[in-house]
A and B are shown apart, each in its own frame.
Chain A
Amino acid sequence: MVKKKHAFLLMVIPAFVLFFTFHTYPALQGIFYSFTDYKGYGNWDFVGFKNYFNVFQDGRALSAYGFTFQFAIVATILVNIISVLIAIGLNSNIKLRKTLRATYFLPYILSVLIVGYIFKFMFTHLLPQIGQALNIEFLSTNILGNPDLAWLGIVLVAVWQSAAFNTLLYLAGLSTIDDQVYEAASIDGAKPWARFWKITFPLIAPFFTINMVVAMKNFLMAFDQIVALTGGGPGQATESISLLIYRGGFQGGEFAYQSANAVIYFIVIVAISIIQLRVLERREVK
């Protein structure tokens, strides 16, 4: 028995040590430095909560939070609506089902960064060409160059790519619904719209919850697609929180200050995930 106990301990201790060294320890260091004026090199002093107060008064940080939330909320809602629609489509009695399913899932396997570069080209060259040919003024300029519209371009790319995974989750959800439920409903004369809200949606509600939480969390951490599409520009109009921490921390000598920002960011993400889970799970029970 003792030998067995040792074996189990030996199985987990190395992972525990590695995880602590490369995950928990840096996190604790980040929290520690957030109370100092450390630049990433040289001497430092404790400054208390000064960095935290400064984040709340920093126009650049606030605009990064504003942009990130706006982007994440809109993208989460759009991606979920579109994914449900595609999943219902793929789950109905269609031709070419396997090919279509494989096509819709394809974006999931591609690099977010490279997809971003391809779309950047489309926004800068293809869409204006189409816009000019068709005389659509909205399209005839590069929307990524417009501080008010650039975020929509990022939403489009994020939705194009993320819908793949969310659709798959909804498909998994739909496949758990028994056909007989629908047959009973159609005998009762339920219209498609009513059928969706009264039968399909409640049955896939747990998948809806996971999708909302996961999508929101991923979009709040957006980095790759923004680097590729706008680099945070024009100006700082599309600078996400991750990008700000990266830039300020590595290039701006703001190690301590961005650590404080990261701690706030962490609290925000956890709070949002918990709120979402609570609210959405309560709806499920009904």
Chain B
Amino acid sequence: MIGNRANWKVTILLILGALFILLPLYLTITIAFKTPREMTGNLLALPQSWSIQNFLDAIEMTNFFQALGNSAFVTILTVAVVILTHSLVAYAIARNLHKKFYKFLYFYFISAMFIPFPIIMLPLVKQTAMWGMDNLIGLVILNGVMQLAFNVFIYVGFVKTVPKELEEAAIIDGASTWQVFWKVIFPLMKPMHATVAILTALAAWNDFMLPLVILSDSNQYTLPLVQYAFQGQFSTDYNLAFASYLMAMLPMIIVYIFAQKWIIGGVMRGSIK
């Protein structure tokens, strides 16, 4: 920070550190293009030819597009449900925090942040199986429940900073409480929606434990779960495995490359709250 000359010593150290971050990804990409015969040589070498055969095999074997569809379905639906409902709940709570019931509700919801998932896992799995919720829709509902605590926490924090005068003006114009929310508050929450959407999407996309215990039909497996289910076959063919891993990570990496500024900003906003 001091002086205007670039600090080359620190830059070089950080570049070395960044190489350590990128090494596993470099390996994943190169191995995904190699043939099993190339695996006996130097593992860090580039592939001799860039054949996409491993990817084609992995797509067929793991039924990649089905898993991709499942993951996309769960992620998109979860984000939509969470943004529409959690913001609404948080608004009602934030505007009534002086009342006992809403205050209780607030602490009741956010206390869930301290409850480790394994304590509810065993009964929850029995319950969802019994009620026919051991599918993707069930997963979306449970995602919504599991993320309620954190999202209510950050939405309430945000609504508290919104001056009430804005709503009062709308009410004088004859708007109902619902209209005030959808027309005034919901659009104002845009920066928080972005943060919630990013965090929720990452959590839903990369989640492993909840789909593992909830889903019973392997046709509904999400991408991480598919990697887990195919470990037996993968341990004999690393090239196939890494092609599969790379395809499973690629959608998020692509989104990240194009929206990294937005994603980092969104996560930072959520963490300062």
A interface, CB within 8 angstroms of B? 3-4, 7-9, 11-12, 14-16, 18-19, 22-23, 25-27, 29-30, 33, 40, 86, 89-96, 98, 100-115, 117-119, 121-122, 125-126, 129, 160, 165, 168-169, 171-172, 179, 182-183, 186, 210, 217, 220-221, 223-224, 227, 241-242, 245-246, 249-250, 255, 258-259, 262-263, 265-266, 269-270, 273
The 6 A-B residue pairs whose C-beta atoms are closest, nearest first, are A7-B177, A29-B123, A11-B92, A26-B123, A26-B120, A262-B119
Contact with A along B227-259 (1 / 0, CB 8 A): 110010010001001100100110011001000
- CB pair B119–A27 under 8 Å, yes or no, is yes
- CB pair A23–B245 under 8 Å, yes or no, is no
- CB pair A89–B10 under 8 Å, yes or no, is yes
A221 CA / B116 CA spacing, docked (Å)? 7
- CB pair A266–B141 under 8 Å, yes or no, is no
- CB pair A111–B122 under 8 Å, yes or no, is no
- CB pair A108–B267 under 8 Å, yes or no, is yes
Take A30-B123, A95-B6 as given contacts and tell me if A89 and B208 are in contact as well, using a CB distance cutoff of 8 Å.
no
What residues of chain B lie closer than 8 Å to A114, measured between beta carbons? 224, 227, 245, 248-249
B interface, CB within 8 angstroms of A? 1-8, 10-11, 13-15, 17-18, 20-22, 24-25, 27-28, 31, 39, 42-44, 85-86, 88-89, 91-93, 95-96, 102, 105, 108-109, 112, 114-127, 141-142, 144-146, 148, 176-178, 181, 202, 205-206, 208-209, 213, 223-224, 227-228, 231, 234, 238, 241-242, 245, 248-249, 252-253, 256, 260-261, 263-264, 267-268, 271-272
A79 CA / B77 CA spacing, docked (Å)? 33
What residues of chain A lie closer than 8 Å to B124, measured between beta carbons? 22, 26
- CB pair A115–B24 under 8 Å, yes or no, is yes
Residue of B nearest to A164 (CB): B21
- CB pair A265–B119 under 8 Å, yes or no, is yes
- CB pair B22–A103 under 8 Å, yes or no, is yes
Take A168-B267, A221-B116 as given contacts and tell me if A94 and B43 are in contact as well, using a CB distance cutoff of 8 Å.
no
- CB pair B122–A112 under 8 Å, yes or no, is no
What residues of chain B lie closer than 8 Å to A242, measured between beta carbons? 116-118, 209
Residue of B21, B114, B115 with most chain A CB atoms under a 10 A cut-off: B21
A118 CA / B227 CA spacing, docked (Å)? 11
How far apart are B116's CB and chain A's nearest CB, in angstroms? 5
What residues of chain A lie closer than 8 Å to B208, measured between beta carbons? 111-113, 223-224, 227
- CB pair B122–A259 under 8 Å, yes or no, is yes
Residue of B18, B105, B120, B124 with most chain A CB atoms under a 10 A cut-off: B120
Take A93-B6, A109-B253, A227-B228 as given contacts and tell me if A119 and B118 are in contact as well, using a CB distance cutoff of 8 Å.
no
| A–B complex contacts, Cβ < 8 Å, 30 sampled | A3-B177, A9-B92, A11-B181, A19-B108, A22-B127, A23-B115, A30-B122, A86-B17, A90-B14, A93-B3, A95-B6, A103-B22, A106-B22, A106-B253, A109-B202, A111-B224, A117-B227, A119-B24, A121-B27, A121-B31, A125-B238, A168-B271, A182-B2, A217-B114, A221-B116, A221-B118, A246-B209, A255-B122, A263-B119, A266-B115
A106 CA / B112 CA spacing, docked (Å)? 28
- CB pair A246–B118 under 8 Å, yes or no, is yes
How far apart are B208's CB and chain A's nearest CB, in angstroms? 5
Take A7-B177, A95-B11, A259-B122 as given contacts and tell me if A23 and B228 are in contact as well, using a CB distance cutoff of 8 Å.
no
Take A109-B253, A112-B206, A179-B1 as given contacts and tell me if A102 and B260 are in contact as well, using a CB distance cutoff of 8 Å.
yes
User: 7 other contacts beyond A210-B271, A266-B116, with CB at 8 A cut-off?
Assistant: A12-B93, A19-B112, A90-B14, A94-B11, A101-B264, A114-B245, A224-B224
- CB pair B121–A245 under 8 Å, yes or no, is yes
How far apart are B167's CB and chain A's nearest CB, in angstroms? 11
Take A12-B105, A105-B264, A111-B206 as given contacts and tell me if A18 and B141 are in contact as well, using a CB distance cutoff of 8 Å.
yes
A29 CA / B271 CA spacing, docked (Å)? 33
- CB pair A30–B177 under 8 Å, yes or no, is no
- CB pair A126–B27 under 8 Å, yes or no, is yes
Contact with A223, one of B24, B96, B209 (Cβ below 8 angstroms): B209
Contact with B248, one of A26, A29, A111 (Cβ below 8 angstroms): A111
